[in-house]
Amino acid sequence: MKHSFLDQYSQGNSLIHRLDPRTKLITTLFFILVVVLTPISRWQAFALYFVLVATLIIISRVPPLYVLRRSLAIIPFVVLIAIFIPFFKEGEVAGSYNIWMWQVTVTYSGLQVFLNILAKAWLSILSLILLTATTRFSHLLKGLEQLRLPRVMVMILSFMYRYIFVLVDEVMRMKQARDSRNLGGGRLRQLRTVGNMIGTLFIRSYERGERVYAAMMARGFDGQARTLEKPSFSQRDALFALTLGLVLILVVVANLWY
C-alpha cells in the first residue's frame, strides 16, 4: 500500500509547502507560460528560469537529486516527440546521413529549435515536479476546485487518487502471480495474458465501484463531498506570488526590449 512514487515529499514543511495550493498552481502555470513564450535565441532568459526553479527547489528542501532524477526520467519521451525537428528545418547543413532509404540532413537552425524545445520542456517539467513534490494531492484538488474546475470532476479525481493505491496493489499482485508461474510463450500469448489481466482488473474494479457506492449510500451520501480543511490565501501567498510574478514579468519585458 506504500507507493511513494505518487507524491513523495509532499508532507514536508517549508515555505513552499505552506503556500496555498492556488498560489502554487497559478504561479506554476504562469511560469510555464512565460517559459514557452520565450523566443528561441534568449539563452540568458533560460539560464535565469533555471536559477529561479533551482532556488525554489532549494527553499522547498526537496532533495535536488530526486527532482533531477525524476525530470531526466521523462526526457526520453520528450525526445521521442521532438526527434523530427533537427532534420527538417531549412538552413545551413550541419551533417548529412544516409539511413536506409532516406537521405536526411541536420541543419544548425533545426538543432537550435530542437535544443530550445527540449530546454522549455525540461524547465516546465522541473516546475511541475516542484509543484507536486510540495503539495499533497488532496490540497491540489482543493485548489483546483477553488479555481473553478467542475466539482464533480474534482470528486472523481479524489476518488481516483484514493483507489489508485488499491488498484496498483492489485496489479502488483497479479504481476507477481504471473511472473511466479513463469509466463513464456510468444508475443501473442503474452499480449493475451495482459489482456486477461486487464479484463480481470476491470471486472474487479467495477464490482468494487458498486460496493463502494452501496457503502456510501448506506452512510447517507447525497452527491456532495464535505471536508473540514480550508486552505486560506494569506499575506505570505500574496508576497510569494507578487515576487515571482514581478521577476517573470521583468524577464518578459527584458526579452521584448533587448
Residue type, 161: Y
**The three grid cell numbers given for residue 123, joined into one nine-digit string:** 524547465
CA triplet 40, 133, 246: central angle to 5 degrees?
45
Return the exposure string of 205-230: e unless at least 16 CB atoms fall within 10 Å of the residue's CB, then b: eeeeeeeeeeeeeeeeeeeeeeeeee
CB of 64 to other proteins, least distance (A): 16
Which residue, 18 or 70, is less far from other proteins as judged by CB?
70
CB of 123 to other proteins, least distance (A): 8
DSSP one-letter code for 94: E
Which residue, 159 or 239, is less far from other proteins as judged by CB?
159
Which residue, 219 or 235, is less far from other proteins as judged by CB?
219
**The three grid cell numbers given for residue 62, joined into one nine-digit string:** 526537496
CB of 137 to other proteins, least distance (A): 7
Those residues whose C-beta lies under 8 Å from the C-beta of residue 47, and which sit 6 or more positions away, are none
Which residue, 28 or 60, is less far from other proteins as judged by CB?
28
CB of 198 to other proteins, least distance (A): 5
Which H or E run includes 226? none
